[in-house]
Amino acid sequence: MDETAFRALAEEVEDFVRGPGERYAEQIERTGEVPAGLRQELRERGYLSLAAPVEYGGRGLDFPRYLELVELFSMSHASLRMIVHVHNGVWRAIDQFATAEQRNRFVLPAIAGDRVVAFTLTEPTAGTGADLRCSVKQEGDTYYLSGEKHLITFGVHCDYWLLFARIEGTIGKDGTVALMVPRDTPGVLVRSMSNTMGVRGTDHAHLVFDHAPVPVANRLGEVGQGLDVALGGFLTPSRISVAMTCVGLARRAQELAVAHAKGRVTFGKPLSSRQAISFALAENATDIEAARQLTLHAARQWTAGDDSAATLSSMAKLNAVDMLSRVTDKALQAHGGIGFWESSPIERVYRDARAQRFEEGTNEIQKTVIAREVLA
């Protein structure tokens, strides 16, 4: 896509975010649910296949360019950007180890928006890495899956769970497997984990598997490559994407704070003339731009196949999350007490921002990844 076409697309996305996107946001906050029409409209506009290759039916945007659009989407409701983020990312994890048959069955329908795939890694009794407790036992051409998963985004209303488990009796990375588990698989109990502080509307699931049958043909790659599918195919670029969602949400918080500071008059002067407020907004602008540039650097290194990409992704995410916390706190403070009420847009932004500290690994996980490289 040339520069002119990309700029036209970016303007289109921004118009959508500030127009229909805000109306969807109001509806989601009012009902606590994502309307079916939102996903359908995102699909029809081609926003669910922005990052996929043209030969797969996508728009073919390179990763840094795609992130420029992620920043715009992230200025809208968190559930809207979550749909865009997951659809444009989860196909990569499937595709890197997929056979031609699996690509036709799983990857292309996901890119087209015909299938929803939920990334299913986190467990209530383990971390998010090689200590997986979910296990499978093979009998002929079938795996029988047992264990639990929780905090699974889109895990209630999906078509497949891209699930990570281990061969029964194994430990460490070598026994891990990645499986495409159909949503209607017998032996699965699905519980909705609703009523979150922020990111309202997006469904999250607690899943319990009891000897649930999964075809061995639904395994991606070989035994021992489960975490390669999870970490390299999804988590590294996804952490970079989440860093950019922090930039976009911080940008929205800053916009709201600037508008309020210019319009609110106290003691005969606008708030923007008060040094305390103007300095806070200057700090915010600096924070946002610094996070944006580190995120884009990580994206370029990942695109180039640089070995440092995984560490940079954690750096970008850690830095952007901390930045978002500072920016939204100052933005809310600039609003004064009125910002604490639900009638104020900054209230929703403030709530949604807190969730970023958990998404794709906590700050503590990011620090562990970075420290491992620093101390190597």
DSSP conformation letters of 288-337: HHHHHHHHHHHHHHHHTT-TTHHHHHHHHHHHHHHHHHHHHHHHHHHHGG
Tokens of 161: 């769970």
Structure-block tokens of residue 190: 């699905």
**Under 8 Å between Cβ of 211 and 187:** yes
First to last CA, the chain: 40
Q: In this structure, what DSSP letter does residue 339 have?
A: G
Among the options 68, 123, 359, 360, which is catalytic? 360
- In DSSP notation, 170-228 reads --SGGGEEEEEEETT-TTEEEEE----SSSTB--EEEEEEEEEEEEGGGEES-TT-HHH
Spell out the residues 6+ positions from residue 373 whose beta carbon is closer than 8 angstroms to its own.
308, 311
Q: Quote the CA–CA distance of 177 and 284 in Å, as a whole number.
A: 43
Q: Which residues of 246-261 are buried (b: 16+ CB within 10 A; e: fewer)?
A: bbbbbbbbbebbbebb
* Token pair listed for 342: 């639900």
Distance CA 25, CA 34 (A): 9
Dig out the tokens for 52 from the structure: 């996929």
Our answer to whether residue 289 is catalytic in this structure is: no
The CA R_g of the chain, rounded to the nearest whole Å, is 21
Instruction: Write down the H helix ranges in 32-142.
Output: 36-44, 63-73, 78-87, 90-95, 100-102, 108-112
Secondary structure tally for the chain: helices H, strands E: 14, 10
Neighbours of 143 (CB within 10 A): 23
Residues tagged active-site: 360
